[in-house]
Structure 1
Amino acid sequence: MTASDALVTFRGVQKTYDGTSLVVRDLNLDIQRGEFLSLLGPSGSGKTTTLMMLAGFESPTAGEIVLNGTPITRTPPHKRNFGMVFQNYALFPHMTVAENIAYPLRVRKLAAAEREAKVKRALEMVQMDTMGLRYPAQLSGGQQQRVALARALVFDPQLVLMDEPLGALDKQLREHMQLELKALHRRLGVTFVYVTHDQAEALTMSDRVAVFNDGRIQQIDRVDRLYETPVNRFVANFVGDNAVLDARVHAAEGGECEVVLPDGARLRGINVNRAAVGDAVQCSVRPERIELADGASANTLPGTVMDVIYFGDHLRLRCRMASQAEVMVKLALNHQGVPTPGHTVHLHAPAQHTRVYL
């Protein structure tokens, strides 16, 4: 994908509120036409500020935002033609569902017949075609969320911006809405930009995810690559679960290295950040990649089972390693011979799935 395919381009965008500390630092980002892009990161990482600058509610301190080749940095929000969905839905309580959805069309002075047709289509889109005459107070949280979404889509925007829109819903409903949003995006082909701090949500819904920390994008990638090949320690620890072991580099060649753990044990892994001999590093392995071995072998460490936790769809072993933090191991429910607490186990971390970070 090239910048010319991009619907939106951020170039050298910075934002500061006090003139000294940067909330967003030198942001360069291409948002592709028709993609579902999530901005993921902890509180204060710059993701919401980035969305607000795109929406026009905040102005960049430096840099340029370009839409379809035209700079929009100084274009007011109402002239950007973007749909917006907030966490608190922001529905008008004195208006019916249909009137709420029609509001953006009234502002744009569409004729009544056209307005009615678009509202009907938007209600069908979010599967609420029988609820047009209800008021927001008569709806559940999930239904209110659908109305807010329909209102954001009703005027055929080229871009829909969402700021933690599912945050107020309970877990089951949130997961259901994630799948609905993804299906809706696929059906409509509109560009979605979605802010969340929930990594599972970002992985479930997005085509690509931009991981923010400290005002910068740490990595922007397809969800599978983001999970399997994090580019640094922050992304590895923020996206998904990890077994993390502190170590020091003993030998390095090509893209791999051998590390020594505090107890003298050795592991081989992928040298992600080109660490040199003697460097203090962290070894990172996904819990589902760790295997139970029959005995000592290459890339295998002994541990003591502290706990076996039932998670419904899998088991987790909580293991204590020699002079290390605890390590979690995921096992399938049908795993033969699950060890019990107190047992010593041999945990094999395959070298191709062991990533070493500075």
Structure 2
Amino acid sequence: MRVVENGRKEAGMNKERKPLVRFRGVGKSYDGINRVVDGLDLDIYEGEFLSLLGPSGSGKTTCLMMLAGFESPTEGEIWLGDTLLNVTPPHKRNIGMVFQNYALFPHMTVAQNVAYPLTVRRMGAAEKQTAVGRALDMVQMSQYASRLPASLSGGQQQRIALARALVFNPRLVLMDEPLGALDKRLREHMQIELKDLHATLGLTFVYVTHDQSEALTMSDRVAVFDAGKIQQIDRVDALYETPGNGVVANFVGDNNVFVGRLLALDGERGEVGLPGGEVLVGRVIGAPRVGDTVRACVRPERIALGDEAGVEGGAAVANTMRTRSEGTLYFGDHVRFRFSLAGQDSGFVKVPLDDAGLGGIGNGDAVVLRFAERHVRIFA
């Protein structure tokens, strides 16, 4: 496995799988000073669904635009198979593209919109008709072939844009936040459809999003971008359970963050003291030294609620904290119990709806939190 620029090894891909796309030392700057993308090394494997995830300005969309050919790298090389894309114009890259605003021609019918890439390629009428029909079948939109885009819903327009990207059998399909304009329910439905379509076609999908749940739901791997660099690239389960640094831990999923001092270090096992005397024990990521200020992160669903029973007085019990209730928030599929701890930001615990323990807890009540050592990550 190749080592990416942040020092972590790429994981989750079979060594025998061939990279379809290779970024080598790719950088992008618009003013010659500030780098939007900085020293990017990335392999995208044949047939995978890779999401580029990160906040606005992190470099993920610029990376996609350079791959599509709408932006040129300032330095480095981008390869698609054996073709150097730096010198290949966009229309000769054999790459399909789906935009957030769909970019459909309003004066053309659905069939004409889907056929447009084939018209540009001067495909014969009969062959073009067959290809358009096949593409519309893929996205279950054949019955709308004669409609104009304005008569379609947002989800239907998104399907047409996807059909247009697939109609010429591209080697690679790029998607720039294509579900961003849809409502929550339709967006979640389309996530499943895209994942199923990817599994059926076996094409390589590269998907840009700032929505972490979207990336985790659909992807084989996710590359987390920040400040123009890939902070971590990994399988979705590994990315969530074992974030490689504090940036990833804070951006991917919810986290409770406790700031304290590293009291002891034994290999990757560290002990953190909090200002209120609490002690947390977990896995240390990076290279903090004893005495450094560190952040210990615990996912809210990994914390169990309890009471004072069974908590010994005197010395602190590792990964057990006495907190104060700040109330609850109802989320439909779960309840978030909010708590306060001296010297720390407010935190919360995700609790199943049928948890009977919440009934007797009022604002300001003392509550004990417990969690296992394996769920604590400690970052510099």
TM class, shorter-chain normalised? over 0.9
Equivalent residue number for residue 207 of structure 1: 220
Correspondence for 1:130 among 135, 140, 143? 143
CA-to-aligned-CA distance 1:99-147 (integer Å, 9 cap, x gap) = 1001111111111111111111111111111100000010011111100
Equivalent residue number for residue 299 of structure 2: 286
Where 2:192 maps in the other structure, the secondary structure is helix
CA-to-aligned-CA distance 1:17-63 (integer Å, 9 cap, x gap) = 10111110000000000000000001110000100110011111111
Correspondence for 1:153 among 166, 185, 193? 166
Equivalent residue number for residue 86 of structure 1: 99
Equivalent residue number for residue 300 of structure 1: 320
Where 1:230 maps in the other structure, the secondary structure is coil
Where 2:135 maps in the other structure, the secondary structure is helix
Equivalent residue number for residue 6 of structure 2: none
Q: How does 1:226-245 map to 2 (within 5 A)?
A: 226-245=239-258
Query: What stretches of structure 1 of length at least 5 have no aligned partner?
Result: none
Give how far 1:342 is off: 2.3
Instruction: Give the Cα separation in 1 of the matches to 2:306 and 2:291.
Output: 29
Q: How does 1:1-358 map to 2 (within 5 A)?
A: 1-2=14-15, 5-295=18-308, 296=311, 297-338=317-358, 339-358=361-380
Amino acid at match of 2:377: R
Amino acid at match of 1:279: D
Where 1:130 maps in the other structure, the secondary structure is helix
Amino acid at match of 2:50: L
8 Å CA contact 2:303–2:371 kept in 1: the answer is: yes
Instruction: Give the Cα separation in 1 of the matches to 2:263 and 2:373.
Output: 15
Instruction: Give the Cα separation in 2 of the matches to 1:229 and 1:124.
Output: 40
Give the superposed CA RMSD: 1.1
Instruction: Give the Cα separation in 1 of the matches to 2:104 and 2:182.
Output: 16
Instruction: Give the Cα separation in 2 of the matches to 1:69 and 1:101.
Output: 28
CA-to-aligned-CA distance 1:304-333 (integer Å, 9 cap, x gap) = 111111111111100011221111101111
Instruction: Give the Cα separation in 2 of the matches to 1:3 and 1:30.
Output: 13
8 Å CA contact 1:59–1:74 kept in 2: the answer is: no
8 Å CA contact 2:26–2:40 kept in 1: the answer is: yes
Amino acid at match of 1:46: G
Instruction: Give the Cα separation in 1 of the matches to 2:113 and 2:281.
Output: 59
Q: Which 4+ runs in 1 deviate beyond 3 A? A: 1-4
Instruction: Give the Cα separation in 2 of the matches to 1:93 and 1:268.
Output: 59
Where 1:305 maps in the other structure, the secondary structure is strand
Where 1:237 maps in the other structure, the secondary structure is helix
TM-score for the superposition, normalised by structure 2 = 0.92
Instruction: Give the Cα separation in 2 of the matches to 1:205 and 1:312.
Output: 23
8 Å CA contact 1:3–1:9 kept in 2: the answer is: no
How many corresponding residue pairs?
Answer: 358
Query: What stretches of structure 2 of length at least 5 have no aligned partner?
Result: 1-13, 312-316
Instruction: Give the Cα separation in 2 of the matches to 1:7 and 1:156.
Output: 15
CA-to-aligned-CA distance 1:274-308 (integer Å, 9 cap, x gap) = 32101111110000001123433431001111111
Instruction: Give the Cα separation in 2 of the matches to 1:349 and 1:274.
Output: 24
Where 1:337 maps in the other structure, the secondary structure is helix
Q: What is the aligned-residue identity percentage?
A: 62
Compared CA separation, residues 154 and 188, structure 1 to 2 (3 A): same
Give how far 1:337 is off: 1.9
Amino acid at match of 1:315: V
Instruction: Give the Cα separation in 1 of the matches to 2:284 and 2:371.
Output: 15
Instruction: Give the Cα separation in 2 of the matches to 1:232 and 1:272.
Output: 7
